Amino acid sequence: MQKILSIIESIAHEKNISVDNAMEAFKEALSNTAKRLVGEEGTYEVEIDPDEQSYHIYKVLTVVPDNDPRLEEDPDSYIPMEEAVEYDPDIEPGDQIRSEIHLEEYGRTAAANLFQELEYHIQRRIEQDLFEKYKSRVGSIIIGTVSRVDDAGNTYVEIGELSGILSQRNRIKGESFKTGDTLKALLRFVTIDPKYGMYLELTRTSPKFLEELMKREVPEIQDGAVEIVSAARIPGERAKVALKSDRPDIDPIGAAVGQRGVRINAVSAELCGENIDCIEYSAIPEIFITRALSPAIVQSVRIENNNTADQKAIVDITADQKAKAIGKSGINIRLASMLTKYQIELNEVEGVTERAPEAGKNQEKTKDLSALENLFK
């Protein structure tokens, strides 16, 4: 028992927890051991002196008047004045008497109980440290190795000291994994289950996963020059991302797409070929909704209930653009609604929308140089 503090420090290094946490676990183990041996209802204090490599356990009794009802309710925590004066003639009600307990006097029983308590509390500290470590990483990308896939389609991933679970509903439709595969997913939350212990719940279907992948691929997003305002996706099919930049020298869409689409294609490949539309954000709802409905060209947008949770936008659109606005199986309008947080209602109007001719295509070149000459006057 004289070397116990040195042993606690060794345990702290072995289990990769702080010495302070190990000492707190030791104090709880000492207190609980004393309760088992002396009395469960008592009040105990533990003092540790790291300089002298010693510890002391005290049972604390509070002095109360002789007729105090607490003496009957909790006799292990209170002592009557009549008995207390035998320890100190100057003692008064409210003072405390501390009597030291020596575990060595209880022999092997004390050692066995202390070992069990210490093992339990050290394990709790390890779990608490792991919980805090991974809790701070919630919302970030985790990389691990697939250990097994069960019959229900749940994928189990080894991530450092813990195991992660990618359930079938959090997996992109059509993708599959096998043992030994390296898997990249978003940490959704940390769970402590009484049956399975602590594990990490992973997802590959969250819009946040798309955002984190883009941060990794686009340096301008990583350093804050380009901001992802919002993202919406139907996993494995299509996604829309709203981007903005406060710097006039940076094109947020060009930065996200990359030269010849290399950046956005890398993100799409990780998401099983998901088609990703990058849209420039606007603080003006009408403009933002117009861009979100791309590739459809709309005639006008009217906002209703702008100050309520049930925000609604009425979009006037010609018949030839309506199918584009809705998209296959309604995917385009659903994504636009999720991206802008507006309930979008299409209102068909008469007419045909004509796209502006592309620059330089089927256009006659002017030979009039008067405008150019005026620049140099």
Examine the pLDDT at 259 and tell me if it is beyond 80. Answer: yes
180 — pLDDT class (breaks 50, 70, 90): very high
Residue 84's pLDDT is 78
> Among 46-55, 251-260, 354-363, which is the least confidently predicted range?
354-363
Burial string for 50-59 (b: 16+ CB within 10 Å, else e) reads: eeeeebebbb
Examine the pLDDT at 371 and tell me if it is beyond 60. Answer: no
pLDDT more than 90, % of the chain? 48
Residue 143's pLDDT is 94
142 — pLDDT class (breaks 50, 70, 90): very high
pTM recorded for the entire structure? 0.74
Cα three-residue angle 324-327-328, rounded to 5 degrees: 135
- Residue-wise pLDDT tens digits, 4-23: 778 888 888 888 888 888 88
| E-strand stretches of the chain | 43-49, 54-64, 78-80, 96-101, 141-149, 155-159, 162-166, 182-193, 197-203, 227-234, 238-244, 275-280, 300-304, 312-318, 343-349
Mean pLDDT of 349-375: 57
Q: Phi and psi of 278, rounded to 5°? A: -100, 125
Residue 246's pLDDT is 93
Asked if the bond preceding 219 is cis, omega within 30° of 0, the reply is: no
Cα–Cα separations (whole angstroms), residue 236 to 274, 326, 330, 374: 5, 18, 15, 55
Using alpha carbons, select from 309, 312, 243, 314 the residue that is nearest to residue 279.
Answer: 243
- Residue-wise pLDDT tens digits, 100-134: 888 888 888 888 888 898 888 888 888 888 888 89
Q: Name residue 279's beta-bridge partners.
A: 242
Residue 356's pLDDT is 52
Cα–Cα separations (whole angstroms), residue 356 to 60, 125, 165, 326: 88, 66, 51, 22
> Among 124-128, 154-158, 218-222, 327-331, which is the least confidently predicted range?
124-128
For residues 52 and 288, which has the higher predicted lDDT (pLDDT)?
A: 288
Burial string for 3-36 (b: 16+ CB within 10 Å, else e) reads: ebbeebeebbeeeebeeebbbbbbbbbbbbbbbe
Examine the pLDDT at 92 and tell me if it is beyond 50. Answer: yes
Place of tokens 């996706």: 233
Task: List all residues 6 or more positions away from 156 whose beta carbon is below 8 Å from its beta carbon.
Answer: 146, 147, 148, 149, 150, 163, 164, 165, 166
Using alpha carbons, select from 121, 128, 139 the residue that is nearest to residue 30.
Answer: 121
In this structure, what token pair is assigned to residue 346?
């299409």
Residue 147's pLDDT is 93
- Residue-wise pLDDT tens digits, 194-219: 776 788 999 999 999 999 999 999 99
**How far is residue 48's CA from residue 145's CA, in Å, rounded to a whole number?**
43
In this structure, what token pair is assigned to residue 315?
């979009």
